[in-house]
Amino acid sequence: MNANERKLYLELRTMRKELIERLDKKDGSSPIMPIIEEELKDIEETLTKIENGQYGLCEISGEFIPKDVLEMMPTIRSLDDMDKMEQYYCKPIYS
C-alpha cells in the first residue's frame, strides 16, 4: 500500500465508523438510511480492494481507472460508472 492509498484507507475507515454510528442511532429519517447503507457498502468494498491490492482497477474490464477520477470519487467501481458520471458534467452558464 503506497502513501496515498494508506491516507485514503485511514479516511475511509473513519467514514465507515461514522456511518455505522449513524445507522446504530436510528434517529435519522428513514429515506436517508438506505443511502447511508449503500455508502457504507461502497466504502467497505473499497477498503477490501485497497487491502487486496485491487484498488483503482475497473471491476468489469480490469483496466486502471484514471487517478483524477479516483481522487474525485474514491469508491468508483468501473469505467462504466465513470462514463455515467460524465453525463452530469456541464459547462457553467456564466464565466
State the pLDDT confidence band at 82, using cuts at 50, 70 and 90: confident
Residue 93: inside a domain: no
Sequence letter at residue 64: F
Q: Are 28 and 20 in contact (CB under 8 A)?
A: no
Residue 36: inside a domain: yes
Q: How many domains does the chain have?
A: 1
CATH code of the domain in which 55 resides: 1.20.120.910
Residue 27: inside a domain: yes
Segment 28-33 mean pLDDT: 76
pLDDT exceeds cutoff 90 at 7: yes
Task: For residues 82 and 95, give the distance between their C-alpha atoms in angstroms, rounded to a whole number.
Answer: 26
Segment 21-47 mean pLDDT: 87
pLDDT exceeds cutoff 60 at 95: no
Task: For residues 84 and 16, give the distance between their C-alpha atoms in angstroms, rounded to a whole number.
Answer: 25
Segment 68-90 mean pLDDT: 83
Task: For residues 5 and 51, give the distance between their C-alpha atoms in angstroms, rounded to a whole number.
Answer: 9
Nearest to 42 by CA among 79, 66, 15, 3: 15
pLDDT exceeds cutoff 80 at 49: yes
| Predicted pLDDT of residue 30 | 75
